[in-house]
Amino acid sequence: MDVGSSAIRAALLFVSLAVHHGGVATGGGCDLYKGIWVRDEAYPLYDPSRCPFIEKEFDCQMNGRPDSDYLKYRWQPDPRCQFPSWWSLYNLHAST
């Protein structure tokens, strides 16, 4: 199984946790729509030019965007939402 399909499975697990269980909330509800963009030097987790799911119209790099700094940001939901990282989800799935 390649990293792309594992990432999709991890994303589906993430969405399932959020929608069906309200996330793993600490002290209240988890709202995925409240949060901030934070810089993360581990990003991007994949090569966007090789992602088969990004449509041509939304591929900033292929459409001539000269910088790639925006790829270093990830969404950090409300602090009450506690989810495992994508990498830990990938490792969990890969070990089964």
- Among 10-19, 38-47, 66-75, the range scoring the smallest mean pLDDT is 10-19
Residues sharing a CB contact under 8 Å with residue 30, sequence separation 6 or more, in sequence order: 18, 22, 23, 24, 77, 78, 80, 81, 82
The residue ranges of every structural domain in the chain are: 3-94
Question: Taking the CB of residue 24, how many other CB atoms lie within 10 A of it?
Answer: 13
**pLDDT tens profile 62-93:** 899 999 899 999 888 887 777 666 656 555 55
Residue 76 pLDDT: 86
Question: Taking the CB of residue 76, how many other CB atoms lie within 10 A of it?
Answer: 12
